[in-house]
Amino acid sequence: MQNLENLLKIDRDSIWHPYTALASELPVYHVDSADGVRLKLSDGRELIDGMSSWWSVIHGYNQPEINKALEQQLKSMAHVMFGGLTHTPAIELTEQLLAITPEALDAVFYSDSGSVSVEVAMKMAIQYWQAKGAPQRQKFISLRHAYHGDTFGAMSVCDPETGMHSLFADAMPKQVFIEQPQCRFGEACTEEDMAPLKQALIGQSGHVAALIMEPIVQGAGGMWFYSADYLKQARELCSEHNVLLILDEVATGFGRTGKLFACEHADVVPDIMCVGKALTGGYLSLAATLSSKEIHQTIDNGDPGVFMHGPTFMANPLACTAALTSIRILLASNWQENIRRIQQGLEQGLQPCKELTQVSDVRVLGGIGVVELNEPVDMKTTIPQFVEAGVWVRPFGKLVYLMPPYIIEDNDLKLLTDAIVKIISAL
């Protein structure tokens, strides 16, 4: 094996990291192993992970039950094509997903990532309307400050200013954007709050395929928590105007907000739902798009009689095994109490940030804690400070946030929040 210096040189010279220039001065830390809530660096340091590896590793690293299930699955097969073939992990995972998601959702399409699950959802909506004899329904209504992924279709429904439209505007479909709801989580919504959506549905009547939303929590577009009442009224408006509702639960699914799925806060049922990230407990990339009977029967009965998508690694047996095991671990655990405990720890630990003049807002929901600053964070100087404090926190824009694994203990959570308070205080 090459020495660490050579490995890091290859990394610096040849590997693109997410949203990072190839020749970036941002530090990159070499992880040697991970266990529980700790990342073990090659230089011997250990970091408490406050990110759950971008919100996916909900049970912590090196989880024994998932390890064992994957070892067993490897003995039979790591992969088999899903065209014309099937296997038990996919069937059992489907049965489990349908049991825990809203009852009206009764079919599952597997893909490789959250972005692709959104692409699939958008294609489903368009193909549905084509099968219904309304091919003009091609547009999507989306909220400003939304984030739905990095592929082209998903990117087209991300925020037009903070997203990537400025670079790819001429190549992407033009969608309909409305203001994000200003009614915060726990508040009721007014007619004024709902007016932009009503106007868009009326103004684009006959041309909209679906409204796409991140339920309750707008994730990477700004970590904003909005009213469940808004989501409830949005569902009613979609039904009234005969528009499909797509809920992107990629970031919010599997307990993160205190409900198994964020749509449960409003007791709404989408026509199409996307899940990913925590689906496999952070072990392997897998996502799913769930649809109602009305959606898949209409597509099946239309031309060409099949849904037009099919990834090579669709329903990969290893990924399905990880997902099935992860869900079983979650449901068997006292996850609701863990989320309540984490929420309480985040609220108490981040409270001092509310007194800082450089902070514009502090908000907590379930296992998500957010400190919004007045100015963007200097990643080049701030990330090393977090590492020096023994924690892994990766801010973006003006946001410093935490989404720790559900298994985190109170003392480790306090170390995370203490580090945030200390480092933000010194900015």
Domains located in the chain, CATH noted: 4-62+334-425 (3.90.1150.10), 77-332 (3.40.640.10)
> What is the predicted pLDDT for the residue at 171?
87
Residue showing tokens 């932009």: 196
Please check whether residue 49 is in contact with residue 55, taking contact to mean a CB–CB distance below 8 angstroms. no
Residue 383 structure tokens: 């990330």
Question: Beta strands 31-35 and 38-41: pairing type?
Answer: antiparallel
Q: DSSP for 344-375?
A: HHHHHHHGGGGG-TTEEEEEEETTEEEEEESS
| CB atoms closer than 10 angstroms to residue 331 | 14
> What is the predicted pLDDT for the residue at 169?
78
> What is the predicted pLDDT for the residue at 25?
84
> What is the predicted pLDDT for the residue at 369?
98
Cα gap 336→259, rounded to integer Å: 8
Cα gap 45→136, rounded to integer Å: 57
Q: Collect the ranges in the chain with pLDDT lower than 70.
A: 1, 163-165
Residues with catalytic function: 19, 147, 248, 277
Structure confidence by residue, pLDDT tens digits, 346-355: 999 999 999 9
